[in-house]
Amino acid sequence: MTQTPEFKGTHLFDRLCWAKENLEPVQTDYRVVYEDSVDECAKILVPDPNWMACALQGGILPPVWVPHELAKDEAQPDFKKHTRGYLLHNTEPVEAMTEKQAIEYLILKDCPQSVVETWDTGNKPKMVICRKEQLPQTREWRNAWRISDELNLAA
Amino acid sequence: MAGKIIADQIEHSTAGSLDTSYVVNGSAKAWASMTGAGTASVNQSLNNSSITDNGTGDYTLTNTNAFNYADYATGCGSQWRRSLYTAAQTSSSINFYTTQPDASETALADSGSTGFSVTFTGFGDLA
């Protein structure tokens, strides 16, 4: 297995370039389906294969609280530019994750906070992790896709 | 990292010289090529953590390394959709879609019967 260099303090973009050159992309079969509005169809989050390779390799990605901190900064009304980008580069990178842990990280990073915080409240789950084979195989009626009311959730 | 070259200029034997700042500042800092047929998937990319399929012709790309500003320069293209619009953009994500696809394009996208591909590039300073 390729050894990850000591990356703490290395610009995150440089790490991503290293990963693209040295790691095989990993096409995961997992998809995250979520609904963030009752008026809109279900959305499907697809992990990026290069990102997944970084997550499984370990020592490359910053902890998930780092992008959250940058998002908080950006949410300020007087935001012009990021001034805490160093958090991306100087924070100790996270260790190797399993595929399941990587999906959980990605949900926390890329799904709307409103969905992450309330996905299991209400009459049915607002978010489901599934395999791509469980999704419709064509995009017919794509704008009408919803999470089924009769969902049989795995433990 | 090993193999580092520090230089302010590079020079070609006949075509002249160039400041390396042109290369550093002028290179795409994020890009992705994805297929929208069937279930969406990423073909190739750099500095991208996920794509979200929001519906017909409506996608969100999220970056791993955020840009410094929310208004970084972007370019979107499509195999056959004529117009792609940026609907919303933050320093770490971009949502783009086509507002008025003609009937044949919508049918192709909905059937998933064609190699419907979308490309994205982002230029700017990184956080």
Q: Given this model, what pLDDT does residue B44 score?
A: 93
Q: In this model, does residue A155 exceed pLDDT 80?
A: no
Q: Given this model, what pLDDT does residue B31 score?
A: 95
Residues on chain B touching A54 (C-beta within 8 angstroms): 64
The share of chain B scoring above pLDDT 70, in percent, equals: 77
Q: What would the mean pLDDT of B77-90 be, rounded to a whole number?
A: 73
A12 in B contact zone (CB under 8 Å): yes
Q: Render pLDDT for B47-61 as a digit per residue (tens, 0 to 9).
A: 999 999 998 878 899
- If you compute the radius of gyration of chain B from its CA atoms, what whole number of angstroms results? 18
B27 in A contact zone (CB under 8 Å): no
Q: Given this model, what pLDDT does residue A46 score?
A: 96
If you average pLDDT over each of A16-30, A139-153, B43-57, which comes out highest?
A16-30
Residues on chain A touching B47 (C-beta within 8 angstroms): 13, 16
Q: List C-alpha distances in Å: B24 to B7, B18, B31, B32.
A: 11, 11, 15, 19
The share of chain A scoring above pLDDT 70, in percent, equals: 97
Residue pair B47/B29 in contact by the 8 Å Cβ criterion: yes
Q: In this model, does residue B101 exceed pLDDT 60?
A: no
Asked whether the beta carbons of residue A139 and residue B112 sit closer than 8 angstroms, the reply is yes
Asked whether the beta carbons of residue B53 and residue A27 sit closer than 8 angstroms, the reply is no
Residue pair A142/A42 in contact by the 8 Å Cβ criterion: no
Q: What would the mean pLDDT of A20-40 be, rounded to a whole number?
A: 95
Separation CA A15–CA A10 (nearest Å): 7
Q: Given this model, what pLDDT does residue B99 score?
A: 54
Residues on chain B touching A10 (C-beta within 8 angstroms): 1
Q: List C-alpha distances in Å: A13 to A2, A18, A136, A155.
A: 19, 9, 35, 38
Residues on chain B touching A11 (C-beta within 8 angstroms): 65, 126
Q: Residue B112's pLDDT band (boundaries 50, 70, 90)?
A: very low
Asked whether the beta carbons of residue A13 and residue B126 sit closer than 8 angstroms, the reply is yes
Q: List C-alpha distances in Å: B28 to A38, A61, B5, B45, B102.
A: 37, 20, 20, 11, 31
| Cα angle A12-A109-B1, degrees, rounded to a multiple of 5 | 10
Asked whether the beta carbons of residue B62 and residue A109 sit closer than 8 angstroms, the reply is yes
Q: Given this model, what pLDDT does residue B88 score?
A: 85
Separation CA B83–CA A120 (nearest Å): 38
Mean pLDDT over the full length of chain B: 81
